[in-house]
Amino acid sequence: MFLADKNETLLKPLLIEEVFFGEILSGGSSMATAGKRLNTAASEESMSFVKALQCRECGKQYPKAPLSVCEYCFGPLEVSYDYEALSNKISREIIQRRSPNMWRYRELLPIDTEASVGKQVGFTPLVKASNLAKRWGLKHLHVKNDSVCFPTLSFKDRVVSVALSKALEFGFDTVGCASTGNLANSVASNAASVGLRSYVFIPANLELGKILGTLVYKTKVIGVDGNYDDVNRLCSEIAGKYHWGFVNINLRPFYAEGSKSFGYEIAEQLDWQVPDCVVVPMAGGSLITKVYKAFNEFKKLGLVDANHSRIYGAQATGCSPITTAVKAGRDFIKPVKPHTIAKSIAIGNPADGYYAIKTITESGGWAEDVSDEEVVEGIRMLAEDEGIFTETAGGVTVAVTQKLIRQGKIKKDDVTVIAITGNGLKTQEAIQDHLVKPQVISAKLSEFENTIFCDQPTL
Ligand SMILES: Cc1ncc(COP(=O)(O)O)c(C=O)c1O
Ligand SMILES: [Zn+2]
């Protein structure tokens, strides 16, 4: 074992059954006033081009407020922008003059004033992956590497910086989330950085790195005895009752917009062109829809000439409700019970599953899934060929890319981008039994020379 477990009791999040929940939830008066202090009016010095929240199904419009569901048809709400007004305010030159972070696209993000959380998030490297390209016989392969996103090493810092900036605009003093791990890390870290109180809900059986990387910020971590879908259901109830800013529940329309910055950066880093193919890992299915939205917005604003991108979705076979629907030609999701090592993308009933399917089919892409063995192989290929250590979700994306190339869906000349969304140091359990042990020798040259001609033992 790489990870010592003797401090297990210190490292555990609170299990929900162990908690007197009322005590946590009623702690303090400021929380009770958070709902009352809500500021839903547009700020006077607003720099925002947001027109409204709009129902994706019936089109009904709502004011900018912590809402996520249409009260008429229960469709999800989405942020809509005044693109005409915006087009005079943004250009390639204006964007390029700004600091290298996601806020260089601020007109396309739903914040009324300057971002107050996560000012340095984003603008991660787009790495030319020549060795992997050679392995697979491709000419133009890139890795968009959010495994080094600041501050918590996943793309979730993008969505959280928008959601928490918005939470502060609305006057919340307490925020929360339902998470498969990376979101937990990011909410806890970013909330700590601005003094927001946070409650983070996770399945109790997450990887140690994800749990430690949340607890360290002194957030309140609640481990629920169940899977993500159980956690999410509980959080919806809590959000309804306590009027906190739950980033992926009542702040979800704003939060989700943060993922567009992943797509904007890819297009800018390819010298203002969209790639032919992008392979994106899917959990709730939001990121993939927002990458496509980002490319479409850039085209609408003349920042790229065309959007011909084919968008490919990746899941682990042990939790593949979206890829299964695409392969079956269905436009609806049949929920599943997750069973995979790719815990960060183990969502059996994806909130944006329907829209992920739509994105994939409309763009001319496809969806595939891979076994847990292939996930490990994917992690190793990216590390050995490109020197990038990704987590299980990245292993899924790499292995699915290989599969799509073998199926002839991604072709030799296609400019292809693999979305690497999280860091391997957080999911060490996935590979610890698959690597060779370091060799231990005494500090003697002769002993070193003896070892270099021997094979290293496996674990
Ligand atoms: C590392 C990683 N990649 C991808 C995703 C998928 O994001 P979405 O839920 O937007 O599909 C997640 C979600 O938690 C994640 O943690
Ligand atoms: Zn509606």
Q: Where are the domains of the chain?
A: 8-99+156-255, 126-152+259-430
pLDDT bucket at 277, cuts 50 / 70 / 90 = very high
Tell me how crowded residue 74 is: count the other CB atoms within 10 A of its CB: 10
CA-to-CA distance for 438 and 455, rounded, in angstroms? 11
Top mutation candidate among 146, 149, 156 for ligand 1, by most atoms within 8 Å of CB: 156
**Closest-lying ligand to the alpha carbon of 146?**
1
Q: For position 451, what pLDDT does the model report? A: 84
> Is the model's pLDDT at 8 over the cut of 90?
no
Please state whether beta strands 245-246 and 277-281 pair in parallel, antiparallel, or not at all (unpaired).
unpaired
Ligand 1 centroid – CA 24 distance (Å): 28
State the number of CA atoms in the 13 A half-sphere of 335 facing the CB.
Answer: 12
> For residue 146, which atom of ligand 1 is closest to its CA?
1
Residue with tokens 């231990």: 440
Q: Please work out whether the CB of residue 345 comes within 6 Å of at least one atom of ligand 1.
A: yes
Q: For position 332, what pLDDT does the model report? A: 97
Q: Which residues lie closer than 8 Å to 35 by C-beta, 6 or more apart?
A: 243
pLDDT mean across residues, the chain: 90
In 348-391, alpha helices (H): 353-363, 372-386
The arithmetic mean of pLDDT across residues 152-173, rounded, is 97
Ligand 1 centroid – CA 210 distance (Å): 14
Alpha carbon 194 to its chain centroid, in Å, reads: 21
Give the lowest-confidence range in 199-208, 340-349, 437-446.
437-446
> Element (H or E) spanning 212, and its range?
helix 208-215
For 428, phi then psi, to 5°, come to -65, -30
pLDDT bucket at 47, cuts 50 / 70 / 90 = confident
> Is the model's pLDDT at 426 over the cut of 70?
yes
> Is the model's pLDDT at 275 over the cut of 60?
yes
State the number of CA atoms in the 13 A half-sphere of 212 facing the CB.
Answer: 15
Please state whether beta strands 197-203 and 174-178 pair in parallel, antiparallel, or not at all (unpaired).
parallel
> Is the model's pLDDT at 23 over the cut of 50?
no
State the number of CA atoms in the 13 A half-sphere of 101 facing the CB.
Answer: 16
Q: Please work out whether the CB of residue 179 comes within 6 Å of at least one atom of ligand 1.
A: no
Enter the tokens of residue 125: 């490297």
The arithmetic mean of pLDDT across residues 204-220, rounded, is 97
Q: For position 91, what pLDDT does the model report? A: 97
Q: Please work out whether the CB of residue 256 comes within 6 Å of at least one atom of ligand 1.
A: no
> Is the model's pLDDT at 132 over the cut of 60?
yes
> Is the model's pLDDT at 1 over the cut of 60?
no
Query: Cα(first)–Cα(last) distance of the chain, in Å?
Result: 9
Rounded to two decimals, the pTM is 0.91
Enter the tokens of residue 12: 């555990």
CA-to-CA distance for 313 and 278, rounded, in angstroms? 8
Name which of 459, 457, 392 is nearest 430 in CA terms.
392
Tell me how crowded residue 413 is: count the other CB atoms within 10 A of its CB: 10
Q: For position 453, what pLDDT does the model report? A: 73
Ligand 2 centroid – CA 257 distance (Å): 19
Q: For position 25, what pLDDT does the model report? A: 32
- Which residue has the least CA distance to atom 16 on ligand 1? 344
The arithmetic mean of pLDDT across residues 213-218, rounded, is 97
Residue with tokens 């990121």: 287
Q: Please work out whether the CB of residue 393 comes within 6 Å of at least one atom of ligand 1.
A: yes
Ligand 2 centroid – CA 58 distance (Å): 4
Q: For position 284, what pLDDT does the model report? A: 98
**Closest-lying ligand to the alpha carbon of 427?**
1
Each residue of 314-372: pLDDT tens digit? Answer: 999 999 999 999 999 999 999 999 999 999 999 999 999 999 999 999 999 999 999 99
Give the lowest-confidence range in 26-35, 75-84, 177-186, 225-234.
26-35
Residue type, 309: S
Ligand 1 centroid – CA 195 distance (Å): 26
- Which residue has the least CA distance to atom 15 on ligand 1? 344
> Is the model's pLDDT at 6 over the cut of 50?
no
As separate numbers, helices (DSSP H) first and strands (DSSP E) second, the chain gives 18, 14
Top mutation candidate among 148, 152, 154 for ligand 1, by most atoms within 8 Å of CB: 154
Q: For position 45, what pLDDT does the model report? A: 54
CA-to-CA distance for 388 and 99, rounded, in angstroms? 25
**Closest-lying ligand to the alpha carbon of 69?**
2
**Closest-lying ligand to the alpha carbon of 210?**
1
Cβ atoms of residues 338 and 346 within 8 Å: yes
> Is the model's pLDDT at 408 over the cut of 90?
yes
280 vs 155, 207, 369, CA distance in Å?
A: 12, 22, 11
Q: Please work out whether the CB of residue 422 comes within 6 Å of at least one atom of ligand 1.
A: yes
Ligand 1 centroid – CA 183 distance (Å): 8
- Which residue has the least CA distance to atom 4 on ligand 1? 281
Q: Please work out whether the CB of residue 321 comes within 6 Å of at least one atom of ligand 1.
A: no
Give the lowest-confidence range in 44-53, 345-354, 382-391, 429-438.
44-53
> For residue 351, which atom of ligand 1 is closest to its CA?
9
Tell me how crowded residue 295 is: count the other CB atoms within 10 A of its CB: 27
CA-to-CA distance for 206 and 262, rounded, in angstroms? 25
Q: For position 5, what pLDDT does the model report? A: 38
- Burial, 36: exposed, middle or buried (Cβ in 10 Å; 0-12, 13-18, 19+)? exposed
CB-based contacts of 82-85 (< 8 A; 24+ apart in sequence)? 82/49, 82/50, 82/51, 83/49, 83/297, 83/300, 83/301, 85/49
CA-to-CA distance for 238 and 216, rounded, in angstroms? 24
As assigned by CATH, the class of the 126-152+259-430 domain is alpha beta
pLDDT bucket at 459, cuts 50 / 70 / 90 = low
For 21, phi then psi, to 5°, come to -65, -40
Give domain 8-99+156-255's CATH number out of 3.40.190.80, 1.10.1740.10, 3.30.310.160, 3.40.50.1100.
Answer: 3.40.50.1100
Q: Please work out whether the CB of residue 269 comes within 6 Å of at least one atom of ligand 1.
A: no
Cβ atoms of residues 235 and 224 within 8 Å: no
CA-to-CA distance for 216 and 87, rounded, in angstroms? 43
Q: Please work out whether the CB of residue 283 comes within 6 Å of at least one atom of ligand 1.
A: yes
Name which of 264, 252, 245, 240 is nearest 79 in CA terms.
252
Q: Can you spell out the DSSP letters for 19-43?
A: S-HHHHHT--SHHHHHHHT---SPP
**Closest-lying ligand to the alpha carbon of 316?**
1
- Which residue has the least CA distance to atom 9 on ligand 1? 284
CA-to-CA distance for 113 and 122, rounded, in angstroms? 19
Q: Please work out whether the CB of residue 118 comes within 6 Å of at least one atom of ligand 1.
A: no
